[in-house]
């Protein structure tokens, strides 16, 4: 499902629910240690999303490796590889690409439900909130406040591996195209510079289905993107 909003060369695997903990070899010792004190729900989602990531890596011909969370949960992917993982109640997904295809990836999944009271004001800018009413008129099947939150999470996941710095919700302004299933995130702080090119805007795609909103950003590894979005992922 997440693969439909990613370039074709990005390997993506998603599941609805959790995989058996011993499937695909389970966790590496370093991963097990990272969640030794976690509650059962957290262990399940942690395990499943890593199994998804290793399946995606296998599709690219890459061997399985430990994916241990660091600061802000960021994973150190193997050299020449970038990736992103996401989980929410009932859904887990991972996307992996070689860095010549994507400089950085950010994916996020959320339930297609309204945000809790008070959250929207803390994660959005006035201009973004002003546009939500019109977006809801055009696509009433989408909870746009939740989609906005999801897209900002995807922005952060794309940003952080390139900068290792925090990015506040108010430091990126998003604009959505409800018909094309795309969005654009304009950074309100200096963007990351990669290979001499400064990224001041993160282009993304979104979709909704089966009770979830999904967002994805894939910064191209070269100035000319190599493929169009639309690769269906392997969903268990």
Residue extents of the structural domains in the chain: 2-235
- What lies within 8 Å, CB to CB, of 126 at 6+ separation is none
User: pTM here?
Assistant: 0.92
| CA angle (184, 86, 232) in 5-degree steps | 70
Average pLDDT estimate for 131-156: 97
When mean pLDDT is compared across 20-29, 39-48, 70-79, the lowest value belongs to 20-29
What CATH homologous superfamily does 2-235 map to? 4'-phosphopantetheinyl transferase domain (3.90.470.20)
Cα separation, 50 vs 54, in Å, equals 6
Q: Which of 126, 208, 137, 214 is nearest to 174 (CA)?
A: 126
pLDDT in tens, 6-38: 999 999 999 999 988 676 678 999 999 999 999
Percent of the chain with pLDDT over 70: 92
CA 75 to chain centre: 13
Element (H, E) at 158: helix 144-163
Given a cut of 50, whether residue 128 has pLDDT beyond it is yes
**Cα–Cα distance list, 230 to 7, 119, 207 (Å):** 6, 32, 11
pLDDT in tens, 81-108: 999 999 999 999 999 999 999 999 999 9
Averaged confidence pLDDT in the chain: 92
Which residue bears the tokens 């060369």? 9
8 A C-beta contact, residue 132 and residue 145? yes
Q: Where are the beta strands (DSSP E) in 55-101?
A: 81-88, 91-98
pLDDT tier at 235 (50, 70, 90 boundaries)?
Answer: low
């Amino acid at each position: 499902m997440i693969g439909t909003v990613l370039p074709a060369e990005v390997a993506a695997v998603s599941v609805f629910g959790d995989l058996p903990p011993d499937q695909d070899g389970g966790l590496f010792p370093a991963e097990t240690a990272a969640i030794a004190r976690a509650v059962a729900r957290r262990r399940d989602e942690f395990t499943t999303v890593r199994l998804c990531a290793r399946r995606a890596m296998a599709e690219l011909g890459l061997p399985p490796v430990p994916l241990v969370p660091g600061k802000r949960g960021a994973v150190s992917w193997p050299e020449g590889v970038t990736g992103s993982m996401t989980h929410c109640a009932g859904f887990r997904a991972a996307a992996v690409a070689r860095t010549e295809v994507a400089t950085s990836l950010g994916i996020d999944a959320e339930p297609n439900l309204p945000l809790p009271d008070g959250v929207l004001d803390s994660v959005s800018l006035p201009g973004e909130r002003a546009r939500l009413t019109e977006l809801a008129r055009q696509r009433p099947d989408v909870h746009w406040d939740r989609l906005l939150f999801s897209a900002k999470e995807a922005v952060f996941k794309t940003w952080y591996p390139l900068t290792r710095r925090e990015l506040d919700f108010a430091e990126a302004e998003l604009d959505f195209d409800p018909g094309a299933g795309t969005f654009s995130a304009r950074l309100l702080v200096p963007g990351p510079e990669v290979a001499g090119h400064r990224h001041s805007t993160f282009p993304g795609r979104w979709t909704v289905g089966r009770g979830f909103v999904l967002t994805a950003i894939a910064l191209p590894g070269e100035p000319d993107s190599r493929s169009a979005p639309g690769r269906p992922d392997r969903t268990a």
